[in-house]
Amino acid sequence: MSDMLFQRIAIIGVGLLGGSIGLAVKSRGIASKVIGIGRNPERLELAMRMGAVDAVTTNLEEGCRDADLIILALPVKSIIDFLEPVARAASPGALVTDVGSTKASIVDHMQRYFDKQTVFIGSHPMAGSEKSGVEHSHADLYCDAVCYITVISSTPVEAVRRLTEFWQALGSRTMIVRPERHDQLVAALSHLPHFTAVALTKTVHESADDVNLLKSLVGNGFLGTSRIAEGHPGMWSDIAFDNQKNLCIYLDRIIDNLEEIKQLITNNDVESLTRLLNSVRQFRQEFNP
């Protein structure tokens, strides 16, 4: 028996995230065979040509057969839709995971279909970009990225160990949390920034009587702060509805903070505004290398 971490990995959805897992697995020798499963033969063909997978199929049962690791590399809503068919297609003993940006509802749903024979553990590698598609995938996408691994009381510890080892082999720093805690943390660190960038971009868009003028004038202030608003609309719509409760709490809070800033400016309260800016600056500087 080989000392590889897994023998056969099936990746459902070979886009930026799935393709990059394939490339990393191949280049790091993490598994002997990687199967790409998808709907679009052309995209699968491209994944093959890029060396992200060893074989491809549009047939879920066929692709999952004998895989000891199955990864759902799909948007959140599709992950939930695929839980039941994947649980049926998976061989006994297979470990199933995903890369979805929210975790509580996925883990909640999976409990109906998975058991101790075929284990599902939700993963969330904090990787990706405003780009999408297998053509943008690369073997280092997960290097130095944080990967959340979510556990509930029934999660078998041995499966957690193997999955942790898998993500670490891809270069990620793993973090074990409960699904609900995960969804709170990413609401603040990822989903709120995203929808803030969207609101900012919408506001600037609405101010634009002349887009060409704006384009000639724009600087790093707007560009850096709005970049993530280019993210995939369907993916981010999925995330927003799935993590509705946490995201709306933070949206309320940022609205309150914007109101507070507006009040300080309107009241000519130089001292309080400067104090606020100082405190924010100090906090933000803690994130610098």
Q: Per CB under 8 A, which of residues 156..195 are in contact with a copy of itself?
A: 173, 175, 185, 188-190, 192-195
Residues 6+ apart with CB under 8 A from 151: 121, 160, 176, 177, 178
State the nearest-atom distance from the C-beta of 189 to a copy of itself, in Å.
5
Of the candidate residues 7, 50, 176, 222, the single one contacting a copy of itself (CB under 8 A): 222
State the nearest-atom distance from the C-beta of 114 to a copy of itself, in Å.
26
Q: Which region among 29-37, 89-97, 113-121, 207-215 touches a copy of itself (by CB under 8 A)? A: 207-215
Q: Which position has the token pair 């909640």?
A: 108
| Residue placing its CB nearer to a copy of itself in the complex, 117 or 129 | 129
State the nearest-atom distance from the C-beta of 283 to a copy of itself, in Å.
4
CA torsion 271-273-274-279 (nearest 10°) is 120
| Residue placing its CB nearer to a copy of itself in the complex, 32 or 258 | 258
| Residue placing its CB nearer to a copy of itself in the complex, 44 or 239 | 239
| Residue placing its CB nearer to a copy of itself in the complex, 137 or 196 | 196
Distance CA 1, CA 79 (A): 32
Q: Which uninterrupted H or E stretch holds 85?
A: helix 76-89
Q: How many residues appear in the chain?
A: 289
Q: Which uninterrupted H or E stretch holds 129?
A: none
Residues 6+ apart with CB under 8 A from 182: 102, 103, 104, 124, 148, 150
Distance CA 16, CA 11 (A): 12
Residue count, binding to a copy of itself (CB under 8 A): 85
Distance CA 177, CA 182 (A): 6
CB atoms within 10 A of CB 8: 22
Structure tokens that stand for 281 in this block: 């600056």
State the nearest-atom distance from the C-beta of 202 to a copy of itself, in Å.
5
Residues 34-93 that bind a copy of itself (CB under 8 A): none
| Residue placing its CB nearer to a copy of itself in the complex, 85 or 193 | 193
Residues 116-155 that bind a copy of itself (CB under 8 A): 126-127, 129, 145-146
DSSP string, 256-274: HHHHHHHHHHHTT-HHHHH
State the nearest-atom distance from the C-beta of 110 to a copy of itself, in Å.
22
Residues 234-263 that bind a copy of itself (CB under 8 A): 234, 236-237, 240-241, 244, 247-248, 250-255, 257-259, 261-262
| Residue placing its CB nearer to a copy of itself in the complex, 133 or 234 | 234
State the nearest-atom distance from the C-beta of 43 to a copy of itself, in Å.
21
